[in-house]
Structures are given as structure tokens and as C-alpha cells.
Chains A and B, each alone.
Chain A
């Protein structure tokens, strides 16, 4: 018994030496926690998966290697997600193949989303996937206890959830997911590239089963969302990972007008599942199931909104930021005409408001690059000229534009005086590469001297 008590002591008081002793007198470290608080939860009541399935409004499906609780829900055209009719979401996605293909081109992992262009085969219906897990750290001990799937069927959205009735049933859940995924040709998630898919891959690897998601086109809506809805300026080029302005919970409010009531907070989700496993009581899981379903619908709503923006083009955008994001999506997808139009729209917004020098500058920069790529150097130079005089523009952009102008005037226009003026401006502005600039200046001076030889030196 002494050993057991010692063990209990070690398990309860974490890392005795790492924690400084509490002030004298305070012998007990956790005065509020009654001893054996968890012990009352164990031994578990024999779990009854059939009853749990019933309580959650689903059915228990038994396989040779375990059981899985399957919960089906259909959302029809007239149902609303927030203020948005489900039918509108569904039909936008069904009709959004072109926009989906564009996103497929813009993000390599999503290559193939939206099916193949007419005349070719491949692709298939989208599978929306969202997992609820026993932890956020990944690793062999983190499991997906709930796999929520949704697909578009005509003007409705069908949600099918696979819940693991106990740890020993994981293979059955994976097998169910495997056969369900086989009917779909592409995957849509929110942050699934870094979280859901690696996690589910690990589970399949753990059980030495082939992962059905391997090589499936995967559109992770987090990335397009950042382009189109991130609030912070993009001056640095890389999105701020802590920026929550395009988390799914923020987006669903803005896009679908959904305000959740009584939603279960994310940090509570694993413990609700552990509690279910220990006690067999499935009722607290109902809120988790609902949370997961709403996430799936919101994901579809976000995709639908992205399709609308892409399809309607820059005209549908409402802010400079959004028009710029849209331009980047077009550009990544190889649609340069649309990209240029969206950039012009961005610049128009920015000029009108005058408060967004960062996005204004970025837009001019991209505009110049696209025009130069399209072999319209004079129009590119126009964008650069506008950029160098833009007030409160990021210095790096301005310097880049000055250098581009110096090159443009020296090599294309052969206007050495102007090239020299731009180079000197850059010198005054400070440059990241003074050696290269000096080299350019020297060369311009040499050329000038050669042309000017007969005349007097300048000044």
C-alpha cells in the first residue's frame, strides 16, 4: 500500500523539485481538489454504444473490427445557416467549377479541385472535412474521435458524422471514413493542411491502413480566406499567424451572419469526449456534434462566398484589401487580365479612402510586375512612377520602384539623365545593396561621359 500511496503522491504533485515549495504551512498543494476526485469517475459504467447513438440521434454501425456511431443530417434549400439560405450556398458551390479550378491552380495542393475542364476526366464531388480530436499537439496519442463530413447534394447539404464509441473502435471509424471518402474526388477543409489531414494520416499510419486522402486534391480555405478577408495590411508579405481576423468563427459572423448560442468552447471538447468514454454518458457530446456540424456549414458558406467573389470579379469586392487579395488569387491562378482589373479596383478604393498606403503600394507594385510580364513596359513604368510619389508608402517598395525606373530609363528608354536622377534618388533614399547601385551609377556616368564628351561636364 505504501508503494501505491507513494505513486499517487508522485502522480499528483507534479515535479517536486521543479516547483518551489509553497510558503510554510501550506502543506497541501491543491487545497480545493478533494482527494481521489477522478477516482469517483472510475470504474466506468459499461459503455452502451447503442444507447449513445440513440441519444445523439444516430445509429450504431458494427464492423468486424469495431463499431461506429453514424449521425446523418440533411440541410435543405430553405434551411438557413445564420442569415444565409443553405440552398444558396449549395447552388453557388455546384455552379462554381470555374472559380474552384482557379483556386486549384492558385494553391498547388488543391490542383484538380472543381473537376477537370470540359472534355477531360478526373476530379469529383467535394468532401468537406472537419475533425474533433483528443488534443492539439498531434503525435501518436492524439486521436480524432469525431470525423465530420459534408457534401453538396443538389440544393441541400448533407452532413455525416462518424463518432468513435470508445478507443478500441478507432479502426472502424477509419474504415467508415475510408469508404465514405472513396465517393469523393476532392477535399475542402479549414486549416486542414496543417492540422486535420496530417492528424488523420497519422491515425491511418498508426493502424497500418492506407490513407484515403493521399494524393486527393485538397483546398484548404484558410489560405484563400487570408487573401480575401484578412484585416491586417499585407505590407510584409507574410500573414501574421496570430491574426484571428480570418478564423472560421470570425468569418462565419461576417459572411453568413451566424451567431452561435450555447456553443461549446474548443478547449472543452476533448474532456467531454474523455468523460463520455469514462462514464458512457453521451449527452454532453451533443453540443460537440452540433459544433462540428456548424463548422462544416460555415466552411461551405466561406467557400461559397469565395466563389462569388472570384466569379463576379473585382466589382463584387468591398474593400481595397479584398480587391487586392482577389487580385493575388487571380495572379496565382494565372488569370492576369482579371488580376490587373482587380489591382486597378484596389487602387481606386485606396485612392478614394487614402488611408491604406500599404495596400495601395503593394497593388501598384504587383500591377507593374504584371504589366512588365505582359511586355507593356511603359505601362509598368507608369505604376512605378505613381508608387515613388505615393505618400506614406513602405520604403522597401519605393526603393524597388526607383531601381526599376532607373533600369527602365537606362536600358529601355536610353534616357540616361532620368535614369541617373532615379539612381541618385535611390541613393538618397538608402538602398539595401549600395554596391549594385554604385555600379549602376558608375555605368550611367560612363555612358553619359561618352555621349557628352564634346560638351562641358554637367554642373
Chain B
């Protein structure tokens, strides 16, 4: 169930939520005239984030996370609903709200590679009205903080992906925003840089600087590690909003039976075994991973193996305690590893669905 929304706050109220989305709808039209289809990327999403909160939007690819973030950042205009930052409507007071938003998206192609880190930051600082000593002081502080001092005057084309992401982080917080939107911030980074980024988000941005952060991810560990509260989003709908601990506590079962099978066998008979509450099957690199959520794994273990090994080789069996990913599967019926992007025709997928 979605967290109950508070009443809309008048502009500028001190006690207003840092971010409040109410019944946000965004549809896209795709395809040629006669074959034109409408896809609901965001379907009545409502949630609010308190000041200083680190809030996660967790959902599989194509769930609508990026589209929702783009609506909040004013990159997209929603069809319906309202989005308020500190009590002000992002489309009526867009310039005021933009001054208070910092955005970080995944992918290294978001900066000028022919310019140095400092030249990039100088340019974006100007867009936020920073100039002169104030700008220089702020950039000095950020390059020092993010460990870019040694390379600040080198062109970005010589940087690694992780270093570029550090510059992107510096840009996102350059103007000292109240609300930071992080869209898959560690996607594509090597583990060391991903760890650094996560640590920086939690310890520096959230705990030390007290920033309100909205982070989208399809990495369960990332959401579990970082977030105070998490909204599950599936097929454009906010399914539930709770703390990671509350999610795990509330799940009414205790075990997950995971079976890895060579090839791509028919998993439907296994998914309908007695006692199975939720099931998913993911095929990757020639291996199908079947996950069954049920009160006690051993009740279905023998039958599941028997059914799956007909024509396929069992590669491994594991019984696990539920993770946030399993909770997501239980609540939404969709695996986080799934791609739920609608593909209407050859005209292309959903804009904003984790890349463009």
C-alpha cells in the first residue's frame, strides 16, 4: 500500500515535504499513426520524502523509475498529477525548484570530454548562477572532497569511468541543492568506484550534509544498504513504501528455494507446486535460475528437482533467507532482474527507461 499522502502544502512552508508526488501519470505515444500505441510509463505514482531522508525507488528495468525522476527534474512534463519540492509545484515554479535539485544519472557520457573537470564545473556553475570567488571556492572544495585535485585540469577524455562519475557527483552538488536525484548512480562502475559512490552518498551527502536524496536503483543491495525508506515500483505503479527492515519483517514466509538449471526448461509446473507463493525464472548466459518463495523450502524441494531435471541438468540448489529482492518478488510478482519495458513495435522502447 502506498504511504498515505499528506495534504498539499502551501508554497514555501518550512514543514513541507522535501518532495511530494501525487498521482503522477506519464504516458508515451509510440509507433506510426495507424499502429500508434499509448504506454503508461508512470501510472498514478504517489509518495512523499521527508527532509534529510535517503529514499529509494526500487524496481526492475522499465518499471518507470527513470521516467518518474525525469518528471521530478522537470525534464518531462507529466500528463497528470502534481510534483512539489519544499511545497512548490515544479512546473509552476520550475526555475525555483530547479535551483534546489541536483541530478546525477548513470552513464559516463554526461559531461564535456574535451574539457577538464574544472572547465566542466565552471560551466555548470554558471548555469546555477555561481560566479567569481564563490564558484572557485566551491569547486576547490568539491575537487578536494572527491579526490580530483591532481587531475582537475586534465581533459575528461583521459579519465576512467569512475573518475567521470566523480565529476558528475561534483556537478550534482555544485550548487548545494536541497534535493539530490540519483538515477542508478553506480550502474556500470567497477566495484571499487561503486563502493566509493555509495559511501559518499550515505556518509557525506546524507549523514554529514543532511541532504534529502532520492535514489533509483535495481540493485537490491544498494537500496538495502543506503535507504531509510524504499518505494517498490512496478509497471509504473508505486506498490509499497516502507523501510528495508519493515519489508523484511512483514514478509509472511521465511525461505527462498533457488535452483539453477542448464538451458531454458519449462518452469511453469514448478511454479505451481503446492505451497509456492511466488515464483520467478530468469535466463542468463545459458542458465535458468528458478526462485520459489514458500514457507518451507523442503516441502517443494524434491518435486521441483524432479520436474526440472527432466531434459535439463541441475547446476545448483540453495535455500536462502529472504532478501529485499525476494520481498520485491513477493510484493510485486516481478523479479528485479526482469525487464518490464513495454515494446510496442519496432519504433523503440519506452523513453526514459534507463537510458535513451
- Chain A complexes with chain B: no
Residues of chain B touching chain A, judged by Cβ–Cβ distance below 8 Å, are none
Residues of chain A touching chain B, judged by Cβ–Cβ distance below 8 Å, are none
